[in-house]
Amino acid sequence: MSKVRVASFSISLDGFGAGPRQDLQNPLGVRGLELHDWLFKTEVFQNMHGRSQGGRVQINPEGIDNKIAAQAFENVGAWILGRNMFGPVRGPWTTTTTGESWKGWWGDIPPYHTPVFVLTHHARVPLAMQGGTTFHFVTDGLESALKKAKEAAAGKDVRIGGGVSVIRQYLLAGHIDEMHLAMSPVFLGEGEHLFSGINFHQLGFRSVEAIAGENATHVLMKKE
C-alpha cells in the first residue's frame, strides 16, 4: 500500500530542522549543514552526488546510517518540496536575479529520479533534468500538490522532502502516514522548529522504533 512519508529528515536535539537565515551561502540556514553530518558520511550520499569514496570523508558502506539512508529512497514514486528546498529564489521567477535559470542545488542530475512537485506562489513551466527528475511547480496549494504526486507515483510512496514548514503543513492536515527522523547530536538553538505547537499524540502518531546509528539516532513514527 502506498504511503505519504517523511524519511531521513535530520533534526537537532532541540528540535530544529534547519538553521536561521537561509540564503545562497547557507541553503539549510546558518549551521544547518551540521544536521546532516551523519548523511554526508554515508556511501548513499557520496554516490548520489557523484563524489568519490576517497577524499576527506570517511564512509562506512556497511553501517547503520548508510542502510537507513538507502531505505529512505525505496519505493518512492514522487516527491514534494517547498520552494526553499528547491532554491533561494524569491518572488516571480522571471523578475529575480537568478530567475528561471535556477535549476536547484543539485547540478544537472538531481538525486530524486522521479517527478518532484515544488510548492510555490509563482508559476513556472516544468523543468526536466537528467536522470529522470522533472520539477513541477504547483501554485494551488498542498492538497493539489499531493494529488498530483500520488497520481505520478502510480502506487508507490510519496516522500515529503521538506523543508520544515511543508512537513508541518502536511502533518497538521493529517496527510503523513509515517515519519523517520534522524536526530543529530547537535544543538542549534535557533532556526525552524519541527515540533513547536504540534501534538503528535493527538495526530495519532506513535514511536515504533529507535535505532542508534554511527552518527545519528533514527526514530520511526507511524500513524495508528
pLDDT, tens only, 177-210 = 999 999 999 999 999 999 999 999 999 999 999 9
| pLDDT bucket at 146, cuts 50 / 70 / 90 | very high
The number of folded domains in the chain is 1
| Tens of pLDDT, residues 79-115 | 999 998 998 877 888 755 455 788 888 889 999 999 9
Are the CB atoms for 191 and 20 separated by under 8 Å?
A: yes
Neighbours of 211 (CB within 10 A): 15
Domain that includes residue 89, residue range: 4-223
| Tens of pLDDT, residues 16-45 | 999 998 888 888 899 999 999 999 999 999
**pLDDT over threshold 60, residue 56:** no
**pLDDT over threshold 50, residue 53:** no
CATH of the domain at 210: 3.40.430.10
Cell numbers found for residue 76 = 518512492
